[in-house]
Amino acid sequence: MADLAKRASVTNVTSLALIVVLSLVQLGVFSPQFAYGMPQTISQIGITEPAFQISPSTQNIVAGEYAKFDIDISQAGLANVMLVARGIPPNSNAIFAPQSGIANPQFHSNLAIVTSTNTPSGNYNITVVALLNGREYPAYISLQLTSNSTLQASTTSINLLSLSVDTDLRFYEPNTTVTVRGHVTDASGDAIGGAGVSVQLDDPTGSQMIFVNNLTTDYAGVYQCEVWLGSGVALGTYSVFVSSIKPGYASATTHTTFVVGSSSTPSVVISQVYVTDTAGNPSGVFTVGQTILVWVILQNNGAPFQGVIWIQILDPNGTPRSIQLQASKLDTGASVKVGFGFTASINLPRGIYVANAFVSDKLISQGGTFLTSAKVQFALTG
């Protein structure tokens, strides 16, 4: 089971080239059904800025400690929210709890900046960007860091990219536009601008409809593109495969699905994965002895689904510390919220843990296939 994360890769798809064109009535010509555009700012679209507050605005800590900031967003109507951070100190981690969700009309989260004794002292200006329905709203905080007198050997880390992808809706009809968006960070959660992103869209038969490899993330690590679905597109489950590269970093891949019309096969997505204490309070930092709950919210947009939800918890060294699973059944359009408990025993190493969530159509020992995955980080201190 230790290679569970590696086997969760679903990007080994052999694609057939299929060029799809969009009729431009005004011009009387054809052009590809793909448009790329970075998220718009409020000045470009002329709308009222939502209330986006972070408190406190400044914190002073000693290297090796963590600083916690409360995030509150309030805006008119319903909005999908995704949070990213840029400019966090070296040898530290940014952990949102939760990182994404829905503002209806409020959204609450907290950000923990977890430093190490090797984090250099100084004043760090950090930008937190809220992506609301594809529009970026920045807020600014500062962290004053004092050096720690405790000396530790310097650590060597591998530069890894972390990649997310989502679509603006789960269900579409022909003659509509699909917005694909996501963000790229490094392993610490710091936003990576200038990363190359490739997007591939496969139709319900597994044939490649669209492949674009010239996208680039903006300063907040965000990418976005639009795909037009013509009137003659096939109905069913579509797959979006995304990969990202940047010199000096290991590449990353991920994928998601959506449904056009209706589907005869399941279309399962993890809409959210987050961590709380036993009282249900979201947090990114825990102490030894605490029981940590990892929550997975699963949504099925296709045919009825019966499969398995998995959680794998890796310690700071990448060693699996817990693997749990639960069978689940979901009808079309249904969602389920499942919690997995993990008690942080005193002998566990301190540092940053990763909880990987997977969904498979059946047990892997029975020939099951992973359908989707997501992950969340938390820190263990004390």
pLDDT greater than 90 at residue 357: yes
pLDDT in tens, 336-348: 999 999 999 999 9
pLDDT greater than 70 at residue 176: yes
Q: Which CATH superfamily is domain 21-32+158-260 in?
A: Macroglobulin (MG2) domain (2.60.40.1930)
For the chain, give the mean pLDDT: 85
Helix (H) or strand (E) holding 68: strand 66-74
pLDDT greater than 90 at residue 92: yes
pLDDT of residue 14: 28
**What is d(CA 370, CA 174) in angstroms, rounded to the nearest whole number?**
28
Range(s) within the chain of domains with CATH label 2.70.50.60? 268-381
pLDDT confidence bin for 44, thresholds 50/70/90: very low
Contact 327, 308 (CB under 8 A): yes
> Is CATH 3.40.50.11890 the classification given to domain 268-381?
no
Q: Which CATH superfamily is domain 51-146 in?
A: Immunoglobulins (2.60.40.10)
Instruction: Calculate mean pLDDT across residues 197-220.
Output: 93
pLDDT greater than 70 at residue 3: no
pLDDT greater than 60 at residue 382: yes
Please identify which residue in the block is written with the tokens 């990969």.
243
pLDDT in tens, 257-308: 999 999 998 899 999 999 999 999 999 999 999 999 999 999 999 999 999 9
Instruction: Calculate mean pLDDT across residues 185-189.
Output: 93
Instruction: Calculate mean pLDDT across residues 57-86.
Output: 94
Residues forming beta bridges with residue 242, ordered by sequence position: 199, 254
**What is d(CA 52, CA 33) in angstroms, rounded to the nearest whole number?**
35
pLDDT greater than 50 at residue 195: yes
C-alpha distances in angstroms, 59 versus 88, 113, 191, 373, 378?
A: 13, 10, 21, 34, 20
- CA angle, 253 then 255 then 258, to 5°: 165
pLDDT greater than 80 at residue 369: yes
pLDDT confidence bin for 247, thresholds 50/70/90: very high
pLDDT greater than 90 at residue 335: yes
Selected residue with higher pLDDT from 239 and 153: 239
pTM for the full model? 0.81
Range(s) within the chain of domains with CATH label 2.60.40.10? 51-146
Burial letters 130-159, b for 16+ CB under 10 A, else e? bbbbbbbbebebebebeebeeeeeeeeeee
